Every structure is written in C-alpha cells, then in structure tokens.
Amino acid sequence: MQIILYTVLLLGGIGAFAALALYLTAKKFKVEEDSRIDLVEAALPGANCGGCGQAGCRQFAEKCVKAGSLDGLRCPVGGDATMRAIADGLGLQAGESDPQVAVIRCAAECLKRPTTNRYDGAKNCSVAHMLYIGETDCAYGCFGFGDCIAACQFGALSQNSETGAIEVNADKCTACGACAKACPRHLIEIRRKGPKNRYVYVACANQDKGAVARKACENACIGCTKCQKTCEWDAIQIEHNLAHIDGDKCRMCRKCEEACPTKAIRSVHFTNEKA
Amino acid sequence: MKTFKIGGVHPHDNKLAAGRRFEPVPLPKEAIIQLNQHIGAPAVPVVEPGEEVKVGQLIAKANGFVSANIHSSVSGKVTKIDEIIDAWGAHQPAIFIEVEGDVWMPDIDISGKFKPTCNLSADEIKRKIADAGIVGLGGACFPTHVKLNPPKEHVIDTLIVNGVECEPYLTPNHRLMIEKGEEIMVGVQILMRALGVDTALIGIECNKRDAIEELERIAARKEGIRIVPLKMKYPQGGEKQLIQALTGREVKSGQLPSSTGVVVQNVATVFAVYEAVQLNKPLIEMYMSVCGKEMEQNGNFRARIGCSVNDVVNMIGGMPEVTGKIIAGGPMMGRAMIHLNTPVTKRTTGITFISQKSAPRFASSPCIRCGRCIQACPMGLEPYLLYKKALQKDWDFMEAHHIMDCMECGCCTFTCPSRQPLLDFVRLGKATVAANIRKRKS
C-alpha cells in the first residue's frame, strides 16, 4: 500500500513541478501578438490554398492587420462576404470585386481531336509537356493527365470519363488559381463571372494559323475574326490567331457564340445551355 | 580491364548491324536543313530564297559563342526559309533546298585520296573546325571548337577519344573505326596538335574486338596514341565516366571535364575533324545505323544532312509493320519519335525500331526501398528521392541534391523493379532547376 502511495505522490509531485515550470516559462517568454490576427483568421475559410498569394490563412490575416488597408488584399475563396467581415472587424474599407471562376481554354474532347500517336511516359502533364507536343497535333491543348485536378483543393475539377475533357464545377470553384499555376500549358484562365454567375469564354488556346489549328481539332479557334465583328461591345481581341473575350467588357449577349464557325466559344449558366 | 567505379547497368547490347558496311543514301529531291542542329542558339541564314547553292557552301552562320555553322549538303536552289514540324511536334526553322545535280564547292577535296600529313598550327586547326560547323557527334551536339578552347586555368595534358558506343543497337562509331581507322588516327593527331598534348587515349568497349585490333594495328605506327579496351558497362560513353575509366580522375560536381586536364571527343567527331582539316569538307554527312529486331535487314548508312529519315529507313524495306516505338538514337538515351517524316540532322546517330510487343512500359507499383536505383546511378545521386521531390515540386531540394549532375542516362528507370518512371520526373526536375538557375543569373 505504501509503495502505491509513494509512487502516486512522487509522480504527482513531478507533474506539479513540471506544470509550474511550464507555466512560468510561458508567462516569461510570451509573444505579444495582435489579437485581431486571430479574429481575422477565424473569419477566413481556413483552406490554406494560397490563392491570395500568401503562404496560408494565418499569413494573410497577419498581412491584413499589419497593412492597415485592404487594398490589393483579397481572399478569392471567401469572396466579398469574407472581405466585408474582415473590414468590419478591422474598421477598414473593403473593395468590391466581382466573383471569378477558372475556365479551361481547351475543349479537349477526344473525338474532336484526332490522335496521332500514343503517349507511353509518366502520366503527368508537366512531364509530357517537356517531352513533346502530345497525343494530338495541337501543341497548345490539354493533355488530360490531370495536374490541375490534383492541384485543386476544393474538388471543383473533374475529368469527363467519356470525352476526356477536364470540367470545372463553377459552384465549387473559388478561383484560387492553383490549377492555373499547375497547368504547364497555361490553359486555365481566372476570369470574371457576370450576373447570375454567367460567363462566356473562348475554349481554345491554339495560336497556330487557322488551317493548321482546324486540322488538329474540330473546335479550334481559327482566328477568323467573325466573333470580333459580331461583338457590339468591342470585347473581343484577336492576337496570334486566337480570340480572347475581355471579361470586363463582355455583356454576355452570346452573339459571338452563335457566330463562331468551330464552336470554340462556350457559355456557362445560361438557361438554354448550348455547349 | 578498366571501367568506371560507381553505378552502371548491363543492358543487352543488341549490336544487330555491327557487321554491315556503310551504304550511301541516294540524294533526296528536296533537302530540309534545320537551323538548330546543335546546343545553343540557332544559326542565322546567310542565303536568300531563290539563291543557287553548292555542296559544302555556308548557308547559316553560328549565332553566338555556343553555336555552329551550317552548310548545304546538296547543290541546287534555295526554295524557302520556313518552319518545319520536327519528330516531336515542335516548330523548327529550316532552309529548304531543291536538289539539282551534285556540284561541290571547288576547295573541297573529293578525289578520295588519303591525306596523312598536317602541318597547320593549332589556331589554324581550331579555326577550320569552327568554320566546318563540327559539333560533338555522340548525340549532345556541343560545338567542338568551344570544347577545344577550354578555360585558360585548365591545363590539358590528355586527349580522350570516345569509341565506347555503350548505347544498345547503335553501331555507326563501331563501323567508322573499322572502315575509317586510318583517317580517325590522323584526326586524333590533328586534335593532339590543336590541344598541344602528346598523349591520346582511345577507349573502346570489348564487344568491338575487331575495331580494337584495327586501331591497335594503326596506333603501333603512331606516337603517343594508346588504345584502351574497356569492360562493357553502360553508360561508359558518358564523358565523366570515360574520364574516370581511362585516367582514374574524377570530374567534381558542377565542373567542366577540362578541369581534370582532359578533353574528350567522339570518334565520329574525330573523323569529321579529319575531313574538315585535311579535305576542307564541312559537316554535311551523318553516319548512322538503322536497326530493330523485327527489321528484315539492319544496316549502317551514310546520309546527307537534310534528307528525310524516311528515305534512310526505306533503304532497308521501310518501317516494319509491328513497330511499336521509333526511337531517335538508342533505347537507353534516345527519344521516341512521333513520325519519320523529319530531316536527318547532326543529332541523328541512329534510328531504332522496337516492336509492339516490347515497346509499352510496364505498369508501375510503389517504391519498395530496395535502393537499386542508387546503386545504378553513375553520378551517385538518389533517383528515388529526386522522383519523390519532383512530385512535391520541391525544386530547391533537388538543386541542393545535385540534380544538375544527372546526365539522363536512364540507369535508374532501367533497374527499378517497381518500374517507376524515375527518369521522367528527374528530367522534369532538371529542366525546372535549370530554368530557375537561368532566371537567377539574369
């Protein structure tokens, strides 16, 4: 009985001493931190995706508190609601900006692009891009090995098992930009969503001359300028045989989509979905 | 017999065309001469469309220090300067020449006489080599004149001639040593003169016994040239491995081979040097082998640069139907091509056909930590770790672990029992780290 008592007392004594030592050390070496950082961090989504340009949510919170203004600071995942909450907490002004979404500038459907060879190397877009043009004649298109899917932390990207195309779930996409960085062919563009989350974009990145591009893919942008001529808002520019719709100028009238002879222009979230 | 110390593997050598003499490929109707046939900046064209050119005429000038001249390999009219799509789908600038007759530049000696004596000074030799647009014909295509001018602080005492040809299937170097032994020996003497050294070592793997005997017979009459038979081991033809095998010296990480007092040249390069210095003939012909286990017949060919690879393959009955992979070069270091409709360049040392049965890669399974890739790596790297770090995109770690020493020999992937795509990712890491280093410098 005595042995048990001594043991309990001894261990309890050591425990109490260690607790006291830890308490005193923590007290002495306490790092004073602005308590607002914790508040801001709590308001953030906590995804640590790096979409804001900082290493993680904590670093973004520190930056918000230290910067003294929210200019140029934005959490793309939380969007306006989160930024407003942070601004209220810090007594600052948050800039409004439209929600954004990732779009893949390649329709990449197997049936639309004739395969000219079979790739046998590591199933990784970066590796394939370093080696050669890819399994089709399009030097700009999607490989479909899913580097972007692996990079997405929000499960917004998926590969269509029938067509092989990478598809964006616009409701899940937070426009953090991780996929755009992962794509070795820079196919992914972060662009503005209009009212009702609608957007129109050119689903092609081929800069070859029209005939070459068309031969490689049925849905290639051939730089024919039809969309540019149709657009009443001067939103479409053609550079290097490739059309680009300016998200800020586009009024989502979809006339360009109708005019496009190769169906390279896509629209999302319209009631009579065409694509 | 000597060999290098660390790593290496033993692939089956499959030298199917070793017994066949070089056959000339007939002149093409149209020659397409690429402007970047070497490491470094593409050459700048000095001819205009519509201009008449002769064989051996300069058509594009070296652009910068690490670059090489390009000469016309045919006579005829320049039709256009345009882009072609090469065997990997990339756009490459090229000069198109419509072939008419076979008229050579008057200063090129085409009498076919053997010229053993050379009395030129070192500088004159180097100038002639630079003018002739000679690049390393072992496959790396590094301009030879740059290699012959090592940094001043490096004192060169030995010339090493690389006749190893450790790559499976390829045989052009082997055949050159047998058929052009005398010329190669004169080329060696010219290079010794250019470098101011009195020792030359010729390393040849022991599967080429006839070449060793032939060169030993000739070397007996020459002073300072020694033939060294080497034990078979891949990648003995790597510059650093060969230096170690022959002299025991080690090239330190990040240093040039010339820091050990050695300059290495391939036998095909040495033969091109003989032709350039003694006959004034620039580099316009490639010696190459075409083989595959399913070919009706394998062969070695002498083809003008700019003729189509398809024409060369047609010399022995065209591509076999069961082909699963066409490889430019050999199976270890070569690159799979997506079509044959591409011109012969200074890089083309052989075309290898692999059958559908043996072409596909095996499915990979997880790493079992056996460490075989570490044992096999001739540069003493840790391929499994580099592979893992490439997946994590930890480029700085890879740089700290000497990724830039990797020569992409493929021993790690060859030896991996789990069939992991080690080299693919190591190569990705190397390319990314190289880009990062360039960015830092500029």
A249-263, pLDDT tens digit by residue?
898 889 999 999 999
- Residue B362 in tokens: 């095996």
For residue A266, give how far its alpha carbon lies from the nearest alpha carbon of chain B (Å). 28
**Structural domain of B417:** 372-441
Q: B272 and B181 in one domain?
A: yes
Give per-residue pLDDT as tens, B321-378: 899 999 999 999 999 999 999 999 999 999 999 999 988 899 999 999 999 999 999 9
User: What pLDDT score does A145 carry?
Assistant: 92
Boundaries of CATH 1.10.15.40 in chain A? Answer: 35-90
B338 falls within a domain: no
Interface test with B, best of A115, A119, A124 (most B CBs within 10 A): A124
Q: B266 and B152 in one domain?
A: yes
Task: Write the single-letter amino acid at A249.
Answer: K
A122·B421 Cβ contact <8 A:
yes
* CA B295 to each of CA B9, B334, B350, B360: distance values in angstroms, whole numbers, following the listed order: 26, 18, 14, 18
- Contacts with A134 (C-beta within 8 Å, 6 or more apart), sequence order: A119, A128, A141, A143, B89
B336·A122 Cβ contact <8 A:
no
B427·A130 Cβ contact <8 A:
yes
User: What pLDDT score does B358 carry?
Assistant: 87
Q: B88 and B128 in one domain?
A: no
Q: B162 and B269 in one domain?
A: yes
B338·A132 Cβ contact <8 A:
yes
- How much of chain A exceeds pLDDT 70, in percent? 98
B313 falls within a domain: no
User: What pLDDT score does B404 carry?
Assistant: 95
Q: Structure pTM? A: 0.87
- Residue B92 in tokens: 């490459």
A122·B427 Cβ contact <8 A:
no
User: What is the distance between the terminal CA atoms of chain A, rounded to a whole angstrom?
Assistant: 82
User: A149 and chain B: CB distance < 8 Å anywhere?
Assistant: no
What confidence category does residue A72 fall into, taking pLDDT thresholds of 50, 70 and 90? confident
CATH number at residue B191: 3.40.50.11540
Question: Is residue A274 over pLDDT 60?
Answer: no
* CA A190 to each of CA A98, A116, A173, B407: distance values in angstroms, whole numbers, following the listed order: 12, 31, 10, 38
A124·B359 Cβ contact <8 A:
no
Distance CA A120, CA A111 (A): 20
CATH number at residue B88: 2.40.50
Neighbours of A266 (CB within 10 A): 21
Distance CA B350, CA B301 (A): 9
Let me know if B397 is exposed, middle or buried by CB neighbors in 10 A (0-12, 13-18, 19+): middle
> Among A235, A185, A193, which residue's Cα sits nearest to residue A76?
A193
- Which CATH architecture is the domain A100-268 placed in? 2-Layer Sandwich (3.30)
What confidence category does residue A168 fall into, taking pLDDT thresholds of 50, 70 and 90? very high
Q: What is the DSSP string of A141-166?
A: S---S-HHHHH-SSS-EEE-TTT--E
User: A132 and chain B: CB distance < 8 Å anywhere?
Assistant: yes
Minimum mean pLDDT range among A97-111, A195-209, B66-80, B209-223:
A97-111
Q: At residue B106, what are phi and psi to the nearest 5 degrees?
A: -65, -30
Contacts of B427 in chain A (CB under 8 A): 127, 130
Domain covering A35-90 assigned CATH 1.10.15.40 in the classification:
yes
Q: B148 and B74 in one domain?
A: no
Closest chain A residue to the Cα of B362, Cα to Cα: A120
Strands of B158-162's sheet in order across? B225-230, B200-205, B158-162, B262-266
**Positive or negative: CA dihedral B207, B211, B213, B215:** negative
B:380-439 residues touching chain A, CB 8 A cutoff = 421, 424-425, 427-428, 431
User: What pLDDT score does A73 carry?
Assistant: 85
Q: B148 and B272 in one domain?
A: yes
What confidence category does residue A196 fall into, taking pLDDT thresholds of 50, 70 and 90? confident
Q: What string of pLDDT tens digits covers the 442 residues of chain B?
A: 899 999 999 999 999 999 999 999 999 999 999 999 998 889 999 999 999 999 999 999 998 888 999 999 999 999 999 999 999 988 899 999 999 999 999 999 998 899 999 899 999 999 999 999 999 998 889 999 999 999 999 999 999 999 999 999 999 999 999 999 999 999 999 999 999 999 999 999 999 999 999 999 999 999 899 999 999 999 999 999 999 999 999 999 989 999 999 999 999 999 999 999 999 999 999 999 999 998 888 999 999 999 999 999 999 888 888 999 999 999 999 999 999 999 999 999 999 999 999 888 999 999 999 999 999 999 999 999 999 999 999 999 999 999 999 999 999 999 999 999 999 999 999 999 999 999 999 8
For residue A122, give how far its alpha carbon lies from the nearest alpha carbon of chain B (Å). 6
A124·B425 Cβ contact <8 A:
yes
- How much of chain A exceeds pLDDT 90, in percent? 47
Distance CA B22, CA B131 (A): 26
Q: Which helix (H) or strand (E) segment is A213 a member of?
A: helix A210-216
User: What is the distance between the terminal CA atoms of chain B, rounded to a whole angstrom?
Assistant: 46
Q: B126 and B94 in one domain?
A: no
Q: B37 and B128 in one domain?
A: no
User: A131 and chain B: CB distance < 8 Å anywhere?
Assistant: yes
B89·A137 Cβ contact <8 A:
yes
Give per-residue pLDDT as tens, B98-147: 999 999 999 999 988 999 998 999 999 999 999 999 999 988 899 999 99
Buried b (16+ CB within 10 A) or exposed e, B354-375: beeeebeeeeeeebeeeebbbe
Q: B75 and B166 in one domain?
A: no
> Among B197, B27, B6, which residue's Cα sits nearest to residue B99?
B27
Boundaries of CATH 3.30.70.20 in chain A? Answer: 100-268
How many Cα atoms sit within 13 Å of A18 on the Cβ side? 6
Residue at which a domain ends, from B279, B298, B322: B279
User: A139 and chain B: CB distance < 8 Å anywhere?
Assistant: yes
User: What pLDDT score does A275 carry?
Assistant: 44
User: What pLDDT score does A77 carry?
Assistant: 85
Neighbours of B321 (CB within 10 A): 8
B329 falls within a domain: no
If one counts the domains in chain B, the total is 3
The position carrying tokens 């510059």 is: B239
More confident residue, A175 or B192: B192
Q: B275 and B128 in one domain?
A: yes
User: What pLDDT score does B130 carry?
Assistant: 94
The position carrying tokens 């030129």 is: B120
**Cis peptide bond upstream of B366, omega within 30:** no
B300 falls within a domain: no
Q: B263 and B201 in one domain?
A: yes
Secondary structure letter of residue A111 according to DSSP: G
Question: Is residue A266 over pLDDT 60?
Answer: yes
* CA A64 to each of CA A22, A232, A255, B254, B314: distance values in angstroms, whole numbers, following the listed order: 32, 41, 42, 44, 69
Q: B135 and B38 in one domain?
A: no
Distance CA B184, CA B245 (A): 21
Task: Write the single-letter amino acid at B398.
Answer: M
Decide: helix, strand or coil at residue A25: helix
Neighbours of B419 (CB within 10 A): 12
